[in-house]
Amino acid sequence: MKRTFYLVILSLLYAYTAHAQMTARVVRDSLFIPWEITWGPDDHIWFTQKNGYICRMEPTSGHIDTLYHEPEVVIQGEGGMLGLALHPNFPTPPFVYVAYDYMNGSTYTAKVVKYQYDATNNKLINPQGLIANIGAANYHNGCRLMMEGNYLYITTGDATNPSVAQDVTKVNGKILRVVQDGSIPADNPMPGSMLWSWGHRNPQGVVYANNRFYETEHGPDNDDEVNIIQKGRNYGWPNVEGYCDKPAELTFCTDSNVVEPLKAWTPTIAVCGLDYYDHPMFPTLQKSLIMCTLKDSSLYQLKLNGTLDGISSASKINAVHYGRLRDLCISPDGRIFISTSNSDASGNTNRIDKIIELYDPSFNSVKQLAANNFLKIIPNPVTDLCTIHVNDIANRTLTYKIVNAIGETIASGSLEHTDTPLATTGWTPGLYFIQLRNERGTIATAKIIRQ
Ligand SMILES: [Ca+2]
Ligand SMILES: [Ca+2]
Ligand SMILES: [Ca+2]
């Protein structure tokens, strides 16, 4: 009996992956289902709430500005204001894409709208419908958005009509791909069609990383899935649930060239928001997908294999106990932000959801990144000239900004080589900071001491 007890304790310990020093901090509470949270290049979190609010949050103070309230949004079951994506070159152009459900006459319907960010007034303006007439229902509404290159990807659910997922004349049960203005790309799988892939039940998480498109979707009472989405391929629903492993499924899989999931979960855990982690703040999480779950109320690490096209292990991240988890985003400096989805169990008026930051308080980005030779100022302290050294500049678009002790910018530029000279002639002796940025925001800071 005692031995069994210890074995249970031991197996519980191994069921969770320990991540040294992972600390959780509630950044903001009293929210209503932050359905999509995404990191902006302005170092703010952009997010939707299911009741029709599009917001922007400063992630240290938790200060929120409401950018837009869409009165057209109608919450019905799982429907409401759902996905959001920023243009990949935001703020040039300053486009924000949002998907939501509303009443189109007497028909519950989803649409995708493009807004323009007016930075002067900190508001969204000029809503412009991009895609209309996506079927919606109380369940299975899809509506995750992702922009990659010039293309906007939209997931759609089967809206409780399973057979629609195999009907390539219909937009439901699909992943759609359009150009940023809503037009249909010439290289989509079928001429004149928005369809990119089909046979989906209810995709709820998408992320593009490693030149791959990873996706999560809900199964029925079995077989939640993680997939890699490929152009023009069939993902099986409703003829195939999870892997091609039943006799009828095997026939359909062969006939329709069905793509099997990387991993499937039975019983289901209600897989949801998905992102990719590869930062030294949490070395054990590097090269992993991070996945939220609703029913299972856990944050999962899905460690990728060496070729990044399979999952070598799945484990729960143990610092996270906040109930149902809807979505996440990752800051360029390695912090993980998650949003909860507990208001849906409590009626539409209770705002009990949170955005939470997971970070390592002992992680000193200057020290750790310097240990990886990522960012170094040589020499430091400096007299008239130093070198900004950045390791691994390949495929990175890096810029820097030098600020003085009172926050004034005194120099800036781009980094195109691992070593870039920086003249400090004329600087008043004292303390300065270099901020290193990629296209997603600030990734590292370091002190410069001018003698
Ligand atoms: Ca997200
Ligand atoms: Ca499938
Ligand atoms: Ca199966």
Burial of residue 426 (CB within 10 Å: 0-12, 13-18, 19+) is exposed
Q: Do 173 and 165 meet the contact criterion of CB atoms below 8 Å apart? A: yes
Cα 173 to middle of ligand 2, angstroms? 11
Cα 274 to middle of ligand 3, angstroms? 23
Bridge partners of residue 86, in order along the sequence: 96
Cα 78 to middle of ligand 3, angstroms? 26
Cα 288 to middle of ligand 2, angstroms? 21
Cα 304 to middle of ligand 3, angstroms? 22
Q: Do 281 and 305 meet the contact criterion of CB atoms below 8 Å apart? A: no
Among 378, 431, 441, 366, which residue's Cα sits nearest to residue 403? Answer: 431
Whether CATH 2.60.40.1930 fits 365-450: yes
Q: Do 237 and 243 meet the contact criterion of CB atoms below 8 Å apart? A: no
Within its chain, how far is the Cα of 168 from the centroid? 28
| Residue 29: CA count within 13 A, CB half-sphere | 6
Cα 431 to middle of ligand 2, angstroms? 56
Q: Do 28 and 57 meet the contact criterion of CB atoms below 8 Å apart? A: yes
What is the DSSP annotation of 30-42? EES-EEEEEE-TT
- Euclidean distance between the first and the last CA atom of the chain, given in angstroms as a whole number: 69
Cα 241 to middle of ligand 2, angstroms? 6
What is the Cα–Cα distance from 35 to 78, expressed in whole angstroms? 11
Cα 46 to middle of ligand 1, angstroms? 9
Q: Which residues are close to ligand 1, an ion, with C-beta < 5 A?
A: 38, 327, 329
Cα 241 to middle of ligand 3, angstroms? 4
Burial of residue 75 (CB within 10 Å: 0-12, 13-18, 19+) is middle
Cα 213 to middle of ligand 2, angstroms? 15
Cα 169 to middle of ligand 3, angstroms? 25
Q: Do 374 and 444 meet the contact criterion of CB atoms below 8 Å apart? A: yes
What is the Cα–Cα distance from 419 to 264, expressed in whole angstroms? 46
Please list the pLDDT of the chain residue by residue as tens digits (451 residues): 444 444 444 333 334 455 658 999 999 999 999 999 999 999 999 999 999 999 999 999 999 999 999 999 999 999 999 999 999 999 999 999 999 999 999 999 999 999 999 999 999 999 999 999 999 999 999 999 999 999 999 999 999 999 999 999 999 999 999 999 999 999 999 999 999 999 999 999 999 999 999 999 999 999 999 999 999 999 999 999 999 999 999 999 999 999 999 999 999 999 999 999 998 889 999 999 999 999 999 999 999 999 999 999 999 998 799 999 999 999 988 999 999 999 976 665 689 999 999 998 887 665 555 555 578 899 999 999 999 988 766 556 789 999 998 889 999 999 888 899 999 999 999 999 998 887 777 777 788 999 9
Cα 395 to middle of ligand 1, angstroms? 23
Report the CATH number of the 17-359 domain: 2.120.10.30
Bridge partners of residue 23, in order along the sequence: 359
Cα 239 to middle of ligand 3, angstroms? 9
Ligand nearest, relative to CA of residue 84 = 1
Cα 305 to middle of ligand 2, angstroms? 20
Among 280, 305, 303, 306, which residue's Cα sits nearest to residue 290? Answer: 303
Ligand nearest, relative to CA of residue 241 = 3
Cα 33 to middle of ligand 1, angstroms? 13
Cα 360 to middle of ligand 2, angstroms? 36
Q: What is the pLDDT of residue 154?
A: 98
Going from N- to C-terminal start, the domains of the chain cover 17-359, 365-450
Q: Do 303 and 312 meet the contact criterion of CB atoms below 8 Å apart? A: yes
Ligand nearest, relative to CA of residue 146 = 1
Ligand nearest, relative to CA of residue 245 = 3
Strands (E), 136-262: 145-148, 151-155, 174-179, 195-198, 203-209, 212-217, 224-228, 233-234
Cα 435 to middle of ligand 2, angstroms? 44
Cα 309 to middle of ligand 3, angstroms? 20
What is the Cα–Cα distance from 31 to 355, expressed in whole angstroms? 8
Ligand nearest, relative to CA of residue 229 = 2
What is the Cα–Cα distance from 205 to 289, expressed in whole angstroms? 11
Cα 189 to middle of ligand 2, angstroms? 19
Amino acid 419 reads: D
Ligand nearest, relative to CA of residue 260 = 2
Q: Which residue has the tokens 């810029």?
A: 399
Cα 95 to middle of ligand 1, angstroms? 17
Ligand nearest, relative to CA of residue 222 = 3
- The answer, yes or no, to whether the previous bond of 247 is cis (omega within 30 of 0) is no
Cα 372 to middle of ligand 1, angstroms? 28
Q: Three-class SS of residue 211?
A: coil
Q: What is the pLDDT of residue 435?
A: 87
Helix (H) or strand (E) holding 438: strand 430-438
Query: At 442, phi and psi to the nearest 5?
Result: -75, 125
Q: Three-class SS of residue 3?
A: helix
